[in-house]
């Protein structure tokens, strides 16, 4: 038996072609690990959801993975691919580096890059998990899968 949970991260994206201009950015995903035993060993779970990254993506389907290793490796790593409104493939690649001295901030802040199909950076984003707005919904979303 595995588990699943849902998460929303929101913030801003700055596209490399428009330095200094920030756009709203958000992803809403459900993480799923089909086996708790396997997850405890690898930390890996799949992600499915939606990305809002204007002007490249206004409501794009997204799929990817999350590695959840906050104790041993002290990381939570996201890799989330989507197809933009322009038909091009993009991937959000980011990692939360967990620091015990700044536990709340490092658990709720995700700096990330957006790369194109050639793995060239096309943008950067900074997202946050809004504990006040989404915390209760996040906790209620945990369930066996």
Q: What is the pLDDT of residues 112-131, one digit of tens each?
A: 999 999 999 999 999 999 99
- The chain-wide mean pLDDT, for the chain, equals 94
Q: Are 11 and 27 in contact (CB under 8 A)?
A: no
Ranges of beta strands (E only) in 34-145 are 44-53, 57-69, 75-83, 89-97, 109-116, 121-128, 143-144
Q: Mean pLDDT across the stretch 47-66? A: 97
CA angle 2, 7, 11 (to 5 degrees): 155
Reading the block at residue 131, the tokens are: 């504990």
Domain encompassing residue 127:
3-144
Residue with tokens 């588990």: 3
Share of the chain above pLDDT 90, in %: 86
> How many domains is the chain partitioned into structurally?
1
**What distance in Å separates the CA atoms of residue 35 and residue 132, rounded to the nearest whole number?**
30
CA angle 39, 129, 65 (to 5 degrees): 30
Radius of gyration for the alpha carbons in the chain, expressed in angstroms and rounded: 15
Segment 7-53, tens digit of pLDDT: 999 999 999 999 999 999 999 999 999 887 766 778 899 999 999 99
Q: What predicted TM-score, i.e. pTM, was given to this entire model?
A: 0.92
- Total residue count of the chain as it appears in this document: 145
What CATH number corresponds to the domain at position 40?
2.40.128.120
């Amino acid at each position: 038996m595995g588990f699943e949970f849902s998460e929303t991260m929101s913030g801003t994206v700055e596209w490399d072609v428009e330095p200094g201009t920030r756009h709203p950015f958000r992803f809403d995903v459900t993480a799923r690990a089909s086996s708790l035993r396997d997850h405890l060993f690898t930390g890996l779970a799949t992600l499915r959801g939606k990305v809002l990254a204007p002007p490249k993506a206004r409501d794009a389907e997204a799929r990817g993975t999350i590695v959840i290793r906050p104790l041993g490796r002290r990381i939570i790593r996201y890799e989330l691919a989507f197809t933009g409104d322009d038909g091009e493939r993009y991937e959000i690649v980011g990692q939360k580096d967990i620091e015990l001295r700044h536990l709340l901030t490092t658990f709720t802040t995700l700096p990330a890059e957006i790369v194109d199909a050639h793995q060239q950076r096309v943008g950067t984003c900074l997202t946050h998990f809004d504990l006040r707005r989404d915390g209760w919904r996040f906790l209620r979303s945990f369930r066996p899968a």
